[in-house]
Amino acid sequence: MRIALRLLIAVLACALVYLHWFLPAQVERGINVKLALDLPTVSEEAQQLHDTLFIADLHADSLLWKRDLSRASDVGHVDLPRLRQGNVTLQVFSATTKSPKNQNYTRNDADSDRITLLAVASFWPPRTWNSLYERAAYQLEKLHELAATDALTLITDQASFRDLLRRREAGEQTVGGLYLIEGAHPLEGDLDKLDRLYDRGLRIVGLTHFFDNETGGSLHGISGEGLTEFGRAVVRRANELDMIIDIAHASPAMAREVLELSTQPVILSHGGVKSACDTARNFDDELMRELARRGGLLGVGYWRGAVCDPTPAGVVRSIRHAIDLMGIEHVALGSDYDGAVAVSFDTSQLAVVTEAMLRAGFSEREIRLVMGDNVRRFLLENLPE
């Protein structure tokens, strides 16, 4: 009996070790993929220019995974050493809190969730297992832990952003981090939770993800509807707090209502333009022009669903198309790194985008604006004072 009990305990211990230390990384390796494609050689001209750029990325889901982002890794696409290697000054870190089974771009309901298993397997606190709000709060705590060192500076207002810019100009290698929730379902229908997350450092609010929620219809949901009354209240309260609204994954009806209702410019943090890449992930030209007319930004992604061709040249073609459609001041980078996507380069290799832009005939001004100066201007105008 004792031998059997010891054997059972040993089996359970081995299972826990596997669950805790090996399974999350194994899962991520199969989801956050870097494609085995030949990348262009970065010329000396491109590298020298790249090293002088202010670079900002509007979307990465790196907080979701069981990795120490302060350490370099060969898993996924983003960590602080790789951000420094790629000369990235500002990274927007998104919190994913719910993801439906068999997730797709056309039709998803809210009846299933893959993040629960990931939270348990990654040994997140039990409070996160059944609460979307606590999952958002926990990922924000992870960002605060990174910001406890000089390796990352949490950006919450114009003053902290200006301080980051001064430190970078002085030669420091600190990276700025902004926090975004991907979908407002962590609010759980309670507007007070928006204020609570704001008080902890939330500054960008995505309204929907892959399913309809309390704020309204998702681009990939069932209803196709616009804002609910709660959704309108979220938009109004976000405006009052000088929080930035993200319409990535919103239904077209919701996106149009947000653009009409919001008193501040909004962003589409990661995506593409349908006329450049005709997928169910992208908005049509008229909606993208309206985003630009309202002073917003599009973060062009690096994966197939956003740009169709995920090579550096393909990404740059979509960037050029977006510039021609929306104007140079409204186009930025929005990688969707670590967001269950396959890309051809990680954040340490961003100089290949600079190289591809030069080869495509981009001017230095165009390169600087797209790689980050548009985001810098937008944040200085729209972050809380």
310 Cβ neighbours under 8 A, 6+ residues apart? 35, 37, 302, 303, 304, 342, 343, 344
pLDDT of 10 above 70: no
Question: What pLDDT digit, counting tens, does each position of 159-213 carry?
Answer: 999 999 999 999 999 999 999 999 999 999 999 999 999 999 999 999 999 999 9
Position 25 scores a pLDDT of 77
Strand ranges (DSSP E) for the chain?
Answer: 33-34, 56-60, 90-95, 152-154, 175-181, 202-206, 244-246, 267-271, 297-300, 331-333, 342-343
**pLDDT classification of 228: cutoffs 50, 70, 90:** very high
Position 20 scores a pLDDT of 56
pLDDT of 22 above 70: no
Q: Which residue has the tokens 């405006």?
A: 239
**pLDDT classification of 12: cutoffs 50, 70, 90:** very low
Q: How far apart are CA 358 and CA 6, in angstroms?
A: 64
Whether the Cβ atoms of residue 151 and residue 88 lie closer than 8 Å to each other: no
Percentage of the residues of the chain whose pLDDT score is greater than 70: 94
Q: How far apart are CA 156 and CA 176, in angstroms?
A: 10
Report domain extents, the chain: 32-382
**pLDDT classification of 218: cutoffs 50, 70, 90:** very high
Token pair for residue 290?
A: 């309206």
Predicted TM-score of the model (pTM): 0.94
Q: What is the fold of 32-382?
A: TIM Barrel (3.20.20)
Question: What pLDDT digit, counting tens, does each position of 324-355 carry?
Answer: 999 999 999 999 999 999 999 999 999 999 99
Q: Which residue has the tokens 């596997």?
A: 18
In the predicted model, what is the mean pLDDT of residues 72-96? 97
Average pLDDT, the chain: 94
Pick from 256, 318, 335: nearest CA to 291: 256
Position 4 scores a pLDDT of 57
